[in-house]
Structures are given as C-alpha cells and as structure tokens.
Amino acid sequence: MQDPAVQPFTVLDFIRFIDVGKAVSVAFAILFIIWALYTVIAGYHWLRYGHSSAVAIPALIVHVVVSWLLAGYAVSGIIG
C-alpha cells in the first residue's frame, strides 16, 4: 500500500501541451535573431573601427559564410 503523502512525479500540466516542433522552431528563430543582431553589430564595428586593419572585411565575410554553412548543415538533416 502506498503512503498517501508520497506522490509519484507527474509532468506539469502545461508541459504536456507544448508542441515540441513549435518549441524548437521558436528556439531556432530566437537564435537566428541573436545571430543576425550580432552579425550586424560586429559588421558595423569592424567596418567603422577596423579601417586600418586588412583583416576586417575578410573576417566579416568568413563569419557570415561559415555561419550560413553551419546553419545549412544543421537544418539539412545530414548525419555522419
């Protein structure tokens, strides 16, 4: 007989109704917005304050290209 004071762990009611697909989509949308803001701000600073550096423009291009390649790989579903 089970002690009435001891209750088994149950998932909270609101967690059961969360659609995982939508939650992941929202999470990736938020990450994309953060990435886009970072890219714009970093690009502005590289272009505004990095004019004496020969690395600023190539670094910005590499950042954007590598980011898009990683994002494309992440959503492509390619495994191994």
What is the tens place of the pLDDT at every residue in 20-44? 778 777 887 888 888 888 888 887 8
What is the rounded CA–CA span in Å between residue 17 and residue 50?
Answer: 49
Residue with tokens 């886009």, as numbered in its chain: 36
How much is the pTM? Answer: 0.57
Q: Where are the domains of the chain?
A: 54-80
What is the rounded CA–CA span in Å between residue 22 and residue 32?
Answer: 15
DSSP string, 53-71: -TTHHHHHHHHHHHHHHHH
Residues 38-65: pLDDT tens digits? 888 887 887 787 777 777 778 788 888 9
